[in-house]
Amino acid sequence: MQRKVLIVGGGIGGLTAAIALCRKGFVVEIVERDPEWSVYGVGIIQQMNVVRAMKEIGVLDAYLSRARGFDRTTIFVGPGGAKEASFDTPKLAGPDYPSNAGIRRKDLQQVLGDAARAAGVTIRLGVTVEAMADDGAGVDVTLSDGSAARFDIVVGADGIYSRTRAAILPDAPRPRYTGQWVWRYNLPLPADLDGIHIFAGPCNAGLVPITDALMYLFLVSEEPEGHFQPVEGAAAAMRSRARMPAPQLVPHLEAITEDAGVVARPIEAVFLEHEPWHVGRVVLIGDAVHASSPHLAQGAGMAIEDALVLAEELARHAAPEDAFAAYRARRFERVRHVALNSLKVGEMQMGLIPPFDVGALTGQTIRMMAGPI
Ligand SMILES: Cc1cc2nc3c(=O)[nH]c(=O)nc-3n(C[C@H](O)[C@H](O)[C@H](O)COP(=O)(O)OP(=O)(O)OC[C@H]3O[C@@H](n4cnc5c(N)ncnc54)[C@H](O)[C@@H]3O)c2cc1C
């Protein structure tokens, strides 16, 4: 008999898990709390392991039709903007595909949502889990719309403030504020932007192509805990965070003029390093178990890979707990590398730890991410 899976959360990880599980023959339902299924209007960096994963779940062409692929990463340092390194990363999806991509979050959700629905996933918006009772043979779930159903497995893909995590692991670590914010703004794509451009210190920023016409500029700042940024004045506030920007950034910073176009978010993190990632038939993926700071641009990549590995292990093992143990074992080192090292980069930027060789860390991360999952 086909096994039934409930996925809590229709974000990047939940949608990828739904597609991957359907492809393995599971019957999948997603409940997504947000009735509007809204996604904020900026882009996201997706590195080579994500491009490979998009191929794996059969959506790569649709995905790239909305994204901007690129092979090259260039790093500039200091207020003078001296070029420190420029390199191509491996094309893991094959020679005909780009290594990396930038994509608008809305477009990524559209591609994954369309693929999930086409695969037969039921997606219920504005619905969440009210109660779960796992009796060892299945999980009885009561939903916020008053309905109830029994599932073989429940996947908590409900993000950094996961209620699924709180329900099964009430003593697990809570998300914490790291001391930094990320500010982002969409701008026209310059003709000579041949990939991602990263600017390191004192203005920590970057330019990321996301469509054939658009890029986004991101900027990392240090803010006191509890900082609030109103929409009014957001463009000036973002510009003011650029400390001694490299000359290449200046014209782009001057083009940040629309308050409503600024997307500013605190960086928060959580990592279940010492805890289990499942209890009984309920398992966690993505930010619910390891939300990292974006300094290595791998948070979504880790959520997507979690989804693929979980689907593989569930297809391989009859007993869910065996599959969950194998899933955690396969994921742990990659996820730990991203979670801990992303935080370290931010801590160095804030002067909390001595400077270290970020170039070497980047090389190590690329080699690790290019390896099999
Ligand atoms: C500023 C910033 C920049 C980033 N940039 C990058 C980047 O460039 N590259 C990268 O790879 N990663 C990046 N990340 C990380 C990336 O956004 C996350 O790792 C990724 O979104 C995690 O996916 P997820 O599916 O686990 O969680 P989410 O994307 O948070 O999705 C969770 C979903 O669950 C829903 N939900 C929540 N609670 C419930 C509930 N109780 N019931 C039902 N549904 C619920 C939510 O509405 C949401 O749709 C960045 C993060 C931040 C904060």
Q: Residue ranges per domain, the chain?
A: 4-40+116-175+269-370
Report angle CA 79, 244, 347 to the nearest 5 degrees: 85
For residue 166, is pLDDT > 90?
yes
Give the Å distance between the CA of 266 and the centre of ligand 1.
Answer: 13
For residue 116, is pLDDT > 80?
yes
- Average predicted confidence (pLDDT) for the chain: 97
- In the chain, what's the furthest Cα-to-Cα distance? 64
Query: Residue 88: what pLDDT?
Result: 97
Rounded to 5 degrees, φ, ψ at 120 are 105, 10
Number of the ligand 1 atom closest to the C-alpha atom of 182: 1
Number of the ligand 1 atom closest to the C-alpha atom of 163: 41
For the four alpha carbons of 145, 150, 156 and 161, in that order, the dihedral sign comes to positive
From residue 152, give the alpha-carbon distance in Å to each of 3, 23, 136, 366: 6, 17, 9, 37
Q: Which residues line ligand 1 at a C-beta cut-off of 6 Å?
A: 8-14, 31-34, 44-45, 128, 157-159, 163, 182, 265, 267, 286-288, 294, 297-301, 303
C-alpha 82/C-alpha 59 separation (Å) is 38
Cβ–Cβ under 8 Å, residues 213 and 92: no
For residue 2, is pLDDT > 90?
no
Taking domain 4-40+116-175+269-370, whether its CATH number is 3.40.50.620 is answered by no
Give the Å distance between the CA of 192 and the centre of ligand 1.
Answer: 31
Cα 353 to chain center, whole Å?
A: 25
Give the Å distance between the CA of 218 and the centre of ligand 1.
Answer: 17
Per the listing, tokens 């192509």 go with: 209
C-alpha 41/C-alpha 305 separation (Å) is 24
Query: Residue 1: what pLDDT?
Result: 74
285 is written with which tokens? 């993926």
Give the Å distance between the CA of 2 and the centre of ligand 1.
Answer: 29
Query: Residue 270: what pLDDT?
Result: 98
C-alpha 239/C-alpha 30 separation (Å) is 40
pLDDT digits 0-9 by tens, 170-208: 999 999 999 999 999 999 999 999 999 999 989 999 999
Give the Å distance between the CA of 365 and the centre of ligand 1.
Answer: 21
Cβ–Cβ under 8 Å, residues 197 and 248: yes
C-alpha 281/C-alpha 344 separation (Å) is 34
Number of the ligand 1 atom closest to the C-alpha atom of 31: 43
Query: Residue 226: what pLDDT?
Result: 94
Q: Which of 128, 176, 287, 335 for mutating ligand 1's site (highest number of atoms within 8 Å of CB)?
A: 287
From residue 255, give the alpha-carbon distance in Å to each of 46, 185, 252, 369: 25, 10, 5, 34
Query: Residue 27: what pLDDT?
Result: 98
308 is written with which tokens? 């693929």
Query: Residue 75: what pLDDT?
Result: 96
Share of the chain above pLDDT 70, in %: 100
Number of the ligand 1 atom closest to the C-alpha atom of 128: 42
pLDDT digits 0-9 by tens, 332-371: 999 999 999 999 999 999 999 999 999 899 999 999 999 9
Q: How many Cα neighbours within 13 Å face the side chain of 115?
A: 28
Q: Give mean pLDDT, residues 247-258.
A: 98
For residue 59, is pLDDT > 90?
yes
Kind of pairing between the strands at 27-32 and 4-8: parallel
Query: Residue 207: what pLDDT?
Result: 98
Tell me the Ramachandran region of residue 120: left when phi exceeds 0, alpha when psi lies from -120 to 50, beta otherwise. Answer: left
Number of the ligand 1 atom closest to the C-alpha atom of 208: 8
- The protein residue whose alpha carbon is closest to atom 1 in ligand 1 is 182
Kind of pairing between the strands at 82-88 and 204-209: unpaired
pLDDT digits 0-9 by tens, 28-41: 999 999 999 999 87
Q: Is the pTM of this model over 0.95?
A: yes
Query: Residue 40: what pLDDT?
Result: 83
Give the Å distance between the CA of 81 and the centre of ligand 1.
Answer: 32
Give the Å distance between the CA of 219 and the centre of ligand 1.
Answer: 19
Using DSSP's 3-state secondary structure scheme, residue 346 falls into: helix
Per the listing, tokens 């965070």 go with: 241
For residue 257, is pLDDT > 80?
yes
Query: ω into residue 202 within 30 of 0, thus cis?
Result: yes
Q: 30: Cβ–Cβ under 8 A, 6 or more apart, which residues?
A: 6, 7, 8, 9, 10, 14, 15, 18, 116, 121, 122, 123, 124
Give the Å distance between the CA of 175 and the centre of ligand 1.
Answer: 13
C-alpha 323/C-alpha 316 separation (Å) is 7
